[in-house]
Amino acid sequence: MQEILEEIARRQPCYVELRYHEHVTSSLMAQKGRIDQAGTSRHQGVGVRALVNGSWGFSSTSNLERGAIESAIGRAVEAARELARSQKKKIPEFSPMALSRADYEEPGYKELRAISIEDKIARVVETEQKLLKESALIHTAVVRYNEIFEHKAIATSDGAACSRRLVRPEFRTAAFTGSGSEQQVAGRGVGVTGGWQCLFHHPSAANMVGETAREAVELLKAGHPEGGVKTVILEPALVGLLCHEAVGHTVEADFVQSGSVAKGRLGTRVASDLVTLCDSGIPPYSGGPGGYLPFDDEGVPCRTTTIIENGTLKSYLHNRESAAIMGAEPRGNARAWNYADEPIIRMTNTYMLPGTMALEDIIASTADGLLVTGAGGGQADASGEFMFSASSAFEIKQGKLGRRLREVTLSGVAFDVLQTVDAVSREFRWDMGSGYCGKGQPAKVDAGGPYIRCRLMVGGRQEG
Amino acid sequence: MDPQAKTAELEDQCRYILKAARAAGADEAFVSASYGLSARIQYEKNDFNLAAYHEGGGFGITVHKDQRQGAASVNTFSKEAVDEVVRQALAFARFSIPDEYLGMAEKSDYIALPETFDPGMAELPMGELRRLAEAMIAAAKHDARVSLDGASVERSAGVHVIANTRGVLASDHSTSLNWYLMGMAIEGADVTSFDHLSDFAYFLPGVESKVLETAGNLAQRLLACLGAKPARSFKGAVLLPACAVDELLLDPIVYHIVGRNIMDGKSRFSNSLGETIASPSVTFSDDPHDIALRGCTAWSGEGVPTRGMALVERGVLKTHLDSVYSARRRGTKPTGNGGGPHGPLLAQGTRSLAELRRAASPLLEFTRYSGSVDPITGDFSGLAKGGRLYVNGADQGPVKETMIAGNTFELLRRDLIMSDERFDDSGSYRLPCVLVDGVSVTSAAS
């Protein structure tokens, strides 16, 4: 397929990008001693993007024959010509650059293919039974396994010719406790780019069953936080969420061009000196991060982007288009979820660099605050205002951890909150690999970092 | 696209796939096949940035073998793909756990819904889409302070067929124009939160005025947020927009009346049929045959006929919702909405929004909820976007960085006051705004 795409792309009179994409997802779910989900889904096809007279056209086909691909190019070119009638600012020509011409098969791809459906189902069922036995207060245990096998081959008319095969497995546990109107649920998740060994040796997989059960039981007696602006210590998953949702999206160049809060702030202070924040498809920290990527869907080799360096905003995240417009260098942030989707600017693995303090010392030096754990959902908007939910928090009084609280939501304005960071731990962990980023299309990403201490708004109860 | 011819073609494909499944050893099989085509004009970064065509189809199959279930799907109809997908589904079933309650829908008759296929829409040229998109953008950006992060206009046409080995065979086809805008208002250093609106129409006639109305409404909402200040913290009255009524009040009810959650011991309403679970002002129903709503359908995803039904009537729980599986487990009958209502409706009240704003003080009104709600406990907490504060009925202006928190089931028991007008945001439901009391409002200013 790769040779055909390369040969077709080379003959085009305008910039054309051809992407063969095979996406195979398998999902298993066990609960109450039964299998509620056991299946697989396979999508494959070729996505075509054409840049004609400074305008983009896109088309796709599930037919892999040469004629069908050439017809799809014709439709993409026609679409681009139509768009050019309305588009005011034409996209400048891309600067020549070294595009990927390598073929990658990432670790774990063959390993996971070799593991039978029987063994995967057995792991899910055994874990469900084990979780159920952790406490008599657990009435339902739910265990999910999901894997995405991805094969992409990219060819562009200006020289990219590359392919990659990788797999991203995920494993999740959840326990339901209590009964009737007094019920609680707690969950854990881990996701990597890699095989079975990589998945189950991830730090977040350690004692997943025990931690899920313990939290589900303790939440039954947990109180609610009081609302207000507070000192909080965020665990790595929440730091990852902060990096991704509250900072990462505002520095995606398409959002910047629309007027996000990061627009015009390169070179200015947006965080405390302790904060250095990066995005990278090939990050320096090991553990098979869930957004690992050797090159993106424009054929650009992935490199590390330092977004914030010691508190100063240094760079945005680009695709080739935004890089050409803003005079920057693309570093591999263009991706599409499926063959029928066009590549857009996405984060890969977004993280804060660790500091020098031990977590124990950060807690010990906190007079009044919360240690917040377990990232739930998160949303942020162009102003940098964000909202995250966390599964629970622990009160800190005079440097000592206290009672557990539930239903914790955090909010703030990213660059304001980052200015308040006054402690950064030396521990580092990827912890968002089981999650997906939504931006019109889903994307597998990861995020993480150290523990940090900052001040932000905690949603909670007010006195009546 | 000829919808009748395409339907006939997909029906033939479904019969072939079911036959292949039986031949490969499946005891029972269900297949869902679809085909669609679309064209889209997209606007980003305050300019047009993409025109795209898509055409595709595929099918998914669920098989039962020795009371074990497996599933597989693919985006092609080739003979090789059918054989492979059937083999994969059976492979998953082979290692699954036997479950005596697995079953499939029985053959049924379905009511004929009004036609929602407009040949003119199906063939709408890209140039005409572009013209519509231009008009939409111009309407949204008539005030230079409006910045659009994204917008799109997309026409699509599709056919969907389901069939199973018990004789179920159902199909539908429709066209639609979907439009969407997301943006913020910017005035100097003042950047509002983003907001978005979308809507759809099946038919071309009259569509342009609907598109322009959506664009104008978004611009109005964004501009109203300029100059926002942090509010103050209090526990009291909040006027929920329809989208928050759906997310904070109705979704948790649905969670607890779905048969699957009842059979798994996750429901607080498992023994509450005929009991009061909410304020008498709450009458919540499902109308799956209202074609103005996106969920409109004559049959459920399993092939069970749908019907209108009251879920909660004057605060009293009237029914549980069962799929084929949960009905077999619970000894009931499938209701055709086992996953939740297709067309959620909440009865309106008699008081105008203006009256509701004067009904309590202080009162927070907002347009969008960005937060979480735990359907199990009913606890919710999140940001109230596009907020305005009212004191003694007087508008104190827009507010920002304001969070709300509370518990759905506590709120439902309180005196809820519905507006006299209902809203159908993007055709998802028909719901009034609801005035609730007892909500914790936390401001960054506190």
Residue among A117, A140, A381 minimizing CB distance to B264: A140
Q: What is the mean pLDDT of chain B?
A: 95
Domain A2-221 in CATH: superfamily? Answer: PmbA/TldD superfamily (3.30.2290.10)
Distance, in Å, from the CA atom of A230 to the CA atom of A226, rounded to the nearest integer, reads 10
Segments making up each domain of chain A, as ranges: 2-221, 228-459
Residue among B92, B127, B380 minimizing CB distance to A40: B92
Please give the C-alpha separations between residue B68 and each of A73, A118, B83, B303, B429, in angstroms, as whole numbers.
44, 13, 19, 20, 36
pLDDT value at position A364?
Answer: 98
Please name which of A175, A171, A169 lies closest in space to residue A129, comparing C-alpha atoms.
A175
pLDDT value at position B444?
Answer: 73
Read off the pLDDT band of B372 (50, 70, 90).
confident
Residue among B89, B264, B382 minimizing CB distance to A387: B382
Q: Is A209 strand, coil or helix?
A: helix
Minimal-distance CA residue of chain B relative to A388: B371
Residue A402 scores a pLDDT above 80: yes
Distance, in Å, from the CA atom of B293 to the CA atom of B173, rounded to the nearest integer, reads 15
Distance, in Å, from the CA atom of B313 to the CA atom of B281, rounded to the nearest integer, reads 9
- How does B333-360 read in b/e, with b if 16+ C-beta sit within 10 Å? ebbbbbebbbbbbbbbbebeeeebbebb
pLDDT value at position A463?
Answer: 64
Read off the pLDDT band of A203 (50, 70, 90).
confident
Q: Contact at 8 Å (CB) between A316 and A330? A: no
Residue B293 scores a pLDDT above 90: yes
* Best A62, A145, A226, A255 residue to mutate vs chain B (most B CBs within 10 Å): A62
Distance, in Å, from the CA atom of A189 to the CA atom of A289, rounded to the nearest integer, reads 13
pLDDT tens digits for range A141-180: 999 999 999 999 999 999 999 999 999 999 999 999 998 7
* A412 chain-B contacts, CB cut-off 8 A: 401, 444
Higher pLDDT, B74 or B191: B74
Q: Do A407 and B405 touch (CB under 8 A)?
A: yes
SS3 letters across A30-95 = EECCEEEEEEEEEEEEEEEEEEECCEEEEEEECCCCHHHHHHHHHHHHHHHHHHHCCCCCCCCCCC
Query: Beta strands A446-449 and A452-459: pairing type?
Result: unpaired
Strands (E), A258-341: 277-279, 305-309, 312-313, 334-335
Residues with Cβ within 8 Å of B185's Cβ and at least 6 positions away in sequence, in order, are B143, B145, B146, B147, B191, B192, B222, B223, B225, B226
Percentage of chain A surpassing pLDDT 90? 84
The tally of CA atoms less than 13 A away on the side-chain side of residue A124 is 31
Q: Do B149 and A382 touch (CB under 8 A)?
A: yes
ipTM for this prediction: 0.92
Please give the C-alpha separations between residue B262 and each of A51, B47, B356, in angstroms, as whole numbers.
54, 50, 36
Residue among A39, A389, A457 minimizing CB distance to B401: A457
As a 3-state breakdown, chain A gives helix, strand, coil percent values, each rounded to 5, of 25, 40, 35
pLDDT tens digits for range B294-337: 999 999 999 999 999 999 999 999 999 999 999 999 999 999 99
pLDDT tens digits for range B100-111: 999 999 999 999
Query: Beta strands B195-201 and B387-391: pairing type?
Result: unpaired
Chain B: give the shortest CA distance to residue A316, in Å.
15
- The rounded Cα B382 to chain-centroid distance in angstroms is 20
Please name which of B54, B272, B303 lies closest in space to residue A336, comparing C-alpha atoms.
B54
Domains of chain B: residue spans and CATH: 3-223 (3.30.2290.10), 228-446 (no CATH)
Q: In whole angstroms, how large is the CA radius of gyration of chain B? A: 24
Q: Do B147 and A121 touch (CB under 8 A)?
A: no
Residue A13: CB atoms within 10 A of its CB come to: 8
pLDDT value at position A227?
Answer: 84
